[in-house]
């Protein structure tokens, strides 16, 4: 039986779902001779870890209890009632992770998984890589940090996987990695990478006012609590940066031109969410309706997309022909078009749900399994 030792940072929705998936797939993976051995789990305050990282792992009962505690908003501190686990304070976590990585890096190997939303993990991820371990990320922030940090992180592509940072479980990174490995030249990538904005743009085609569509999206649970977090385009830009860097562009967040769907004077520092929804949004309705009408009159549709072409990466509204995969997109699916030497006139298209804890955690688990050949 091949054993893959894991350490998980981040116990939010995706992290918890990952632990649940690991428990649920035990017998499936055992059939393939694989054992996923979870050594420890940390949130921003506490780490729960087994005392002997060489042979033991948290039991399924431990993992289920971690999920239960975190779902109910309780502290992982309660795990100290299980005598077999050690509980570490947040100040001790980084040192312990590095110690474990140093111990296992050259022997059994280790996968450090980042399901946090922290921008502070880049240091520990880079040290873990240096110690010969692997990392799997659902967290976009380490990949959108400054280019120097990023390049260190991906210096050995065999040690890192991060499929779930773009389009959740959709095989976008995997497909681009394969295309690049085969020597195919990517000319252009265009993607609708926000389910929220995908839904908004396709609803606008029916003639509904922008403000009404955004409010509907909010009540359907498609948007962040403050819809400006979606409408500003920064989340799409982060995904765009990850794809652009994968394609070899040496750029930072600042280099991406991001068109927000609301003007600066309606920003969060100048208006509350309620004011934005009640007064701000309706005042943009006419402008947006005119853009929709104009593109429709030219046989096009308006989409909020990320475009990477040549050395350019930009995020914003684009008029696209109706009879393209992006033009035909409806609802909240993500969709990526990849144009390359092999997919020249008609792109390689990947489409599907690009969000959700279940799907995102499934992508993380597939990444872990994909690393199995690096383990003895």
14 labelled binding-site residue: yes
358 binds its own copies (CB under 8 A): yes
327 labelled binding-site residue: no
Q: What three-state secondary structure class fits 55?
A: coil
Site for its own copies in 176-195 (CB under 8 A): 178-179, 181-184
> What is the C-alpha to C-alpha distance for residues 109 and 6, in angstroms, rounded to an integer?
9
Query: Is there a contact between 174 and 369 (Cβ–Cβ < 8 Å)?
Result: no
**Residue from 171, 209, 267, 282 binding its own copies (CB under 8 A):** 171
288/335 with CB nearer its own copies? 335
150/210 with CB nearer its own copies? 150
- Could you tell me the smallest distance in angstroms from the CB atom of residue 80 to its own copies? 30
81 binds its own copies (CB under 8 A): no
13 labelled binding-site residue: yes
183/225 with CB nearer its own copies? 183
- Could you tell me the smallest distance in angstroms from the CB atom of residue 54 to its own copies? 22
> What is the C-alpha to C-alpha distance for residues 49 and 97, in angstroms, rounded to an integer?
10
Query: Is there a contact between 21 and 39 (Cβ–Cβ < 8 Å)?
Result: no
Handedness of CA 191, 197, 201, 202 (dihedral sign): positive
Query: Is there a contact between 62 and 48 (Cβ–Cβ < 8 Å)?
Result: yes
326 binds its own copies (CB under 8 A): no
191/325 with CB nearer its own copies? 325
User: E-strand spans in 17-122?
Assistant: 34-42, 46-49, 86-89, 111-114
24 binds its own copies (CB under 8 A): yes
226/370 with CB nearer its own copies? 370
Closest CA to 146 of 126, 127, 172: 126
Beta strand 160-161 pairing with 312-321: unpaired
257 binds its own copies (CB under 8 A): no
Beta strand 257-258 pairing with 186-192: unpaired
**Residue from 152, 208, 312, 328 binding its own copies (CB under 8 A):** 328
> What is the C-alpha to C-alpha distance for residues 8 and 41, in angstroms, rounded to an integer?
5
11 labelled binding-site residue: yes
The catalytic residue positions are 239
157/270 with CB nearer its own copies? 157
Helix then strand then coil, in percent of the chain rounded to 5, is 45, 20, 35
15 labelled binding-site residue: yes
The span of 85-93, 204-212, 304-312, 324-332 binding its own copies (CB under 8 A) equals 324-332
299 labelled binding-site residue: no
> What is the C-alpha to C-alpha distance for residues 308 and 187, in angstroms, rounded to an integer?
8
133 labelled binding-site residue: no
- x/- mask, its own copies, residues 27-66, rule CB under 8 A, reads -x---x----------------------------------
234 binds its own copies (CB under 8 A): no
Phi, psi at 86, each rounded to 5°: -95, 145
The span of 90-98, 172-180, 205-213, 276-284 binding its own copies (CB under 8 A) equals 172-180
13 binds its own copies (CB under 8 A): no
206 labelled binding-site residue: no
Other Cβ atoms closer than 10 A to 188? 16
Site for its own copies in 139-168 (CB under 8 A): 157-158, 163
Closest CA to 294 of 316, 319, 317: 319
**Helix axes 210-219 and 285-297, enclosed angle (nearest 10):** 100
348 binds its own copies (CB under 8 A): yes
Query: Is there a contact between 306 and 239 (Cβ–Cβ < 8 Å)?
Result: yes
220 binds its own copies (CB under 8 A): no
Query: Is there a contact between 151 and 354 (Cβ–Cβ < 8 Å)?
Result: no
Contacts with its own copies, residue ranges (CB under 8 A): 21, 24-25, 28, 32, 157-158, 163, 169-171, 174-175, 178-179, 181-184, 323, 325, 328, 330-331, 333, 341-343, 346-353, 356, 358-359, 362-363, 365-366, 369-374
What residues form the annotated binding site?
10-15, 140, 224
What residues form the annotated binding site for NADPH?
140
What residues form the annotated binding site for NADP(+)?
10-15
């Amino acid at each position: 039986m091949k054993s893959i030792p894991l350490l998980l940072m981040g116990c939010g929705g995706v992290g918890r779902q990952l632990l649940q998936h690991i428990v649920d797939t035990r017998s499936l993976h055992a059939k393939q001779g694989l054992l996923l051995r979870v050594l420890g789990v940390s949130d921003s305050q506490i780490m729960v870890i087994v005392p002997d990282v060489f042979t033991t792992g948290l039991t399924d009962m431990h993992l289920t209890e971690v999920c239960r505690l975190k779902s109910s908003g309780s502290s992982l501190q309660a795990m100290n009632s299980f005598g077999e686990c050690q509980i570490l304070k947040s100040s001790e976590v980084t040192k312990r992770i590095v110690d474990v990585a140093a111990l296992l890096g050259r022997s059994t190997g280790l996968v450090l998984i980042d399901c946090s939303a922290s921008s502070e993990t880049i240091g520990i991820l880079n040290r873990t890589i240096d110690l010969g371990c692997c990392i799997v990320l659902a967290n976009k922030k380490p990949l959108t940090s400054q280019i120097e940090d990023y390049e260190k992180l991906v210096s050995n592509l065999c040690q890192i996987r991060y499929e779930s940072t773009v389009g959740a479980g959709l095989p976008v990174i995997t497909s681009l990695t394969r295309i690049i490995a085969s020597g195919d030249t990517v000319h252009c990538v265009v993607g609708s990478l926000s389910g929220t904005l995908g839904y908004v743009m396709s609803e606008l085609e029916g003639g509904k006012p922008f403000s009404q569509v955004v409010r509907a999206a909010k009540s359907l649970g498609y948007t962040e609590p403050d819809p400006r977090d979606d409408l500003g385009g920064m989340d799409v830009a982060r995904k765009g940066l990850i794809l652009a860097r994968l394609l070899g562009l040496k750029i930072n967040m600042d280099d991406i031109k991001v068109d927000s769907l609301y003007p600066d004077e309606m920003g969060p520092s100048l208006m509350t969410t309620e004011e934005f929804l009640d007064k701000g949004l309706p005042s943009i309705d006419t402008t947006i309706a005119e853009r929709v009408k104009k593109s429709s009159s030219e046989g096009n549709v308006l989409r909020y997309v990320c475009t990477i072409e040549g050395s350019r990466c930009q995020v914003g509204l684009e008029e696209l022909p109706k009879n393209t995969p992006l033009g035909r997109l409806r609802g909240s699916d993500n969709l990526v078009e990849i144009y390359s030497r092999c997919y020249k006139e008609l792109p390689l298209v990947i489409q599907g749900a690009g969000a959700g804890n279940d799907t995102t955690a499934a992508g993380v688990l597939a990444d872990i399994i994909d690393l199995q050949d690096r383990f003895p």
